[in-house]
Structure 1
Amino acid sequence: MLKRHSEAFLLSVIGPCLVLCFLGHLTFVAYPLHKFDERTSTSVTLLIVVAALFSQAVSTLPETASPKAIDVWFFYFILRFFLFFVFHWLVDLQYRLVTDAERPHAIAARYDTLKGDNSDRSLEVRGSRKCPGAYEVA
Structure 2
Amino acid sequence: MYTVKHVDRVEAAENSLRVEFELHRRQGVIMLSTFLPSGLLLLVSWATLFVQVTALNVRAIMSLTTLLVLYTLFSNMSNSLPATASIKLIDVWFFFIIFLLFTNIVVHICVRPTPPPKKDVSTFLPAQPQIPREPEPPRLLRWYRLVVLPVLVGLFNLTFWVVVFIQ
Question: What range is the shorter-chain TM-score in?
Answer: 0.5 to 0.7
Write 1 or 2 for the structure with the bigger share of strand.
2
Distance 1:63 1:4 in 2: 16
3-state SS, counterpart of residue 34 of structure 1 = coil
Query: Aligned pair count?
Result: 102
TM-score computed with the length of structure 1 as normaliser: 0.66
TM-score, reference length from structure 2: 0.55
Moved over 6 A (4+): none
Q: CA RMSD in A?
A: 2.2
Question: Which whole-Å CA distance do the structure 2 matches of 1:78 and 1:120 have between them?
Answer: 52
1:72 paired to 2:92: yes
1:15 aligned onto 2:36? yes
Q: Which amino acid aligns with 1:20?
A: L
Give the partner amino acid of 1:91: V
1:4 deviation in Å? 3.0
Report the Cα offset of residue 70 of structure 1. 0.9
* Identity among equivalent pairs (%): 31
1:111 equivalent in structure 2: none
Partners of 1:13 and 1:47 lie apart in 2 by 15
Q: What does 1:97-116 align with in structure 2 at a 5 Å threshold?
A: 98-99=114-115
| Counterpart for residue 55 of structure 1 | 75
Tell me what 1:6 maps to.
Answer: 27
Whole-angstrom CA distance in 1 between matches of 2:42 and 2:101: 8
Shift of 1:120: 5.7
Which blocks of at least 5 consecutive residues in structure 1 are unaligned? 107-118, 122-138
Report how far residue 82 of structure 1 moved: 0.2
For 1:71-100, what per-residue CA distance to the aligned partner results, in whole angstroms no more than 9, with x for missing partners?
A: 1111001000000001111113xx2xx43x
- 5+ residue gaps in structure 2? 6-21, 124-167
In structure 1, what is the Cα distance between the partners aligned to 2:90 and 2:55?
34
Q: Which structure dedicates a bigger proportion of its chain to helix?
A: 1
Per-residue Cα deviation, 1:59-78 (whole angstroms, up to 9, x for no partner) = 00000011111111110010
SS in 1 for 2:111: helix
Query: C-alpha distance in 2, partners of 1:63/1:90?
Result: 38
**1:43: Cα distance to partner?**
0.4
